[in-house]
Amino acid sequence: MIDVDVLVVGGGPSGSSLATFLARKGVDVRVVDRAHFPRPKPCAEYLSPQASRLLEAMGALEQVELSGAAQLSGISVRAPSGDVIKGDFVASHGFRGFRDRGLSVRREVLDAILLDCAREAGARVKEGIRVTDVVRDATRRVVGVRTMTDGTAGEIRARLVIAADGLRSVIAHRLELAHALRWPRRLALVTHYMGVAEIGEHGEMHVERDGYVGIADVGQGVTTVALVVPASRAREFSEDRAAFLDRWLLARPHLAPRFARAERVSPVVATGPFASHARRAWSPGAALVGDAADFFDPFTGEGIYAALRGGEMLAESVRESLAAMSPGASYAPLAAYDAARRREFGGKWFVERVIGAVVGSAPLINRAARRLSARKDLADLLIGVTGDFVPADRVIRAGYVWRVFGL
């Protein structure tokens, strides 16, 4: 009683990527999402230069660029001291991304384009279906999911169920694979403005003692703004998020004049805490991809790349798993996918955690900014790592750390 070979729960970047690559391999795949697209997603909306390789492979790059996405030439980080680290994607370190620029595009636009790629590749996409639980057989193997559609309960049976359902993945939690990390516990307020002054080609991160804000052009005169603060401040904006955000921005003398004539054009959405990690990205009959498997902190902003790349990596393992002759043999490709993720993303996870700690400490970020503002070569290297085209080990070495933090 199988309804479909592969059921992908979640039509965000990870689900769309996986479904596109699977459908192209001739696999019978269905995507379900509780939302109706286009739908917003709280995000700072930056895509690293290397994410364009995956957009191209999915057949989405041209459409994303034509949609009016902004092109970013690098990232700047302002420390509480006022020192600015400015890194460019094109630099003298000898590494080059798939594209010389990053993209910045509204998730409403991006995610709808990506889901259409999955449809065009042959995946069956059903919107407005919320998955509420997994269904397991007597051996505890996942054999399907329970659903809720317009108040009606249902069930979908599949040979493999993929959790691409984001940060608070129902599947990852029901399978007890993912857990929230105790640190960092941060919340974000995300919105869009028109008319912010002095928006240039660099994505901006402004770190303050009480949080940080990401600001970037997302095309067509719109600026995305994502403020991240410790979760302990949640009560301060429980009644009026917009007023809290305004107060935060207007209290910064270097930001206030830039927002003086700006008009907010989307609701202020709150999200978080974010940090979550899966001890294993698979279970018999199921696998996790994208945020369902792990997410750390928005500061380094590469969740979309990891989601797209995770989908690409998982596609081959899913095909091998389906071809296996016995349930037991079908697990090895999923375990291999998990190991491959750790090899591919392990260095980045380490760098993200170091950056997460530095950003949370004014003395450390001030020290790093003082050094990196004077050493463009080191700044470019770090921005290249966060841009997914410079190997993480180029900054995980004693010499680099000493030059940034040494006395």
Ligand X SMILES: Cc1cc2nc3c(=O)[nH]c(=O)nc-3n(C[C@H](O)[C@H](O)[C@H](O)COP(=O)(O)OP(=O)(O)OC[C@H]3O[C@@H](n4cnc5c(N)ncnc54)[C@H](O)[C@@H]3O)c2cc1C
Minimal distance in Å, beta carbon 269 to ligand X?
9
Tell me, by CB under 6 A, how many residues bind ligand X. 40
Are 300 and 277 in contact, with CB atoms under 8 Å apart? no
**Residues for the chain: how many in total?**
407
Of these, 4, 8, 27, 43, which contacts ligand X (CB under 6 A)? 43
Tokens 């004077």 belong to which residue?
A: 374
Residue type, position 370, single letter? R
Q: What six digits make up the tokens of 239?
A: 């009644």
Phi first, then psi, for residue 194 (nearest 5°) are -110, 145
Are 293 and 278 in contact, with CB atoms under 8 Å apart? yes
Work out whether 166 is an interface residue with ligand X (CB under 6 A).
yes
Minimal distance in Å, beta carbon 42 to ligand X?
5
Work out whether 174 is an interface residue with ligand X (CB under 6 A).
no
Of these, 4, 13, 19, 275, which contacts ligand X (CB under 6 A)? 13
Of these, 130, 146, 280, 370, which contacts ligand X (CB under 6 A)? 130
Of these, 274, 282, 296, 337, which contacts ligand X (CB under 6 A)? 274
Closer residue to ligand X, CB minimum distance, 190 or 404: 190
Cβ-in-10-Å burial (0-12, 13-18, 19+) of 232 comes to exposed
Residue 382 DSSP label:
H
Residue 261 DSSP label:
T
Residue 366 and residue 81: Cα distance in Å, rounded? 6
User: Following CA atoms 138, 329, 315, 126 in sequence, which dihedral angle do they give, to the nearest 10 degrees?
Assistant: -20
Evaluate the omega torsion of the peptide bond into residue 49 and state whether it is cis, within 30 degrees of 0.
Answer: no
Of these, 49, 102, 290, 384, which contacts ligand X (CB under 6 A)? 290
Work out whether 12 is an interface residue with ligand X (CB under 6 A).
yes
Closer residue to ligand X, CB minimum distance, 83 or 302: 302
Closer residue to ligand X, CB minimum distance, 104 or 321: 104
Residue sitting closest to ligand X (CB): 303
Minimal distance in Å, beta carbon 17 to ligand X?
8
Contact region for ligand X (CB under 6 A) — 89-97, 165-173, 315-323, 383-391? 165-173
Are 395 and 349 in contact, with CB atoms under 8 Å apart? no
Minimal distance in Å, beta carbon 114 to ligand X?
9
Contact region for ligand X (CB under 6 A) — 39-47, 70-78, 277-285, 376-384? 39-47
Site string for ligand X, 222-251 (x = CB under 6 A): ----x-------------------------
Residue 117 and residue 92: Cα distance in Å, rounded? 35
Work out whether 15 is an interface residue with ligand X (CB under 6 A).
yes
Total Cβ atoms within 10 A of residue 243? 12
Helices (H) and strands (E) in the chain, counts: 12, 22
Work out whether 297 is an interface residue with ligand X (CB under 6 A).
no
Q: What burial letters (b/e) apply to 64-97, b meaning 16+ CB within 10 Å?
A: bbebebbebbbbbbbbbeebbbbbbbebeeebeb
Contact region for ligand X (CB under 6 A) — 61-69, 75-83, 164-172, 376-384? 164-172
Contact region for ligand X (CB under 6 A) — 31-39, 53-61, 319-327, 367-375? 31-39
Which residues contribute to the site for ligand X (CB under 6 A)? Answer: 9-15, 32-35, 41-47, 130-131, 164-166, 170, 188, 190, 226, 271, 274, 290-292, 295, 298, 301-305, 307
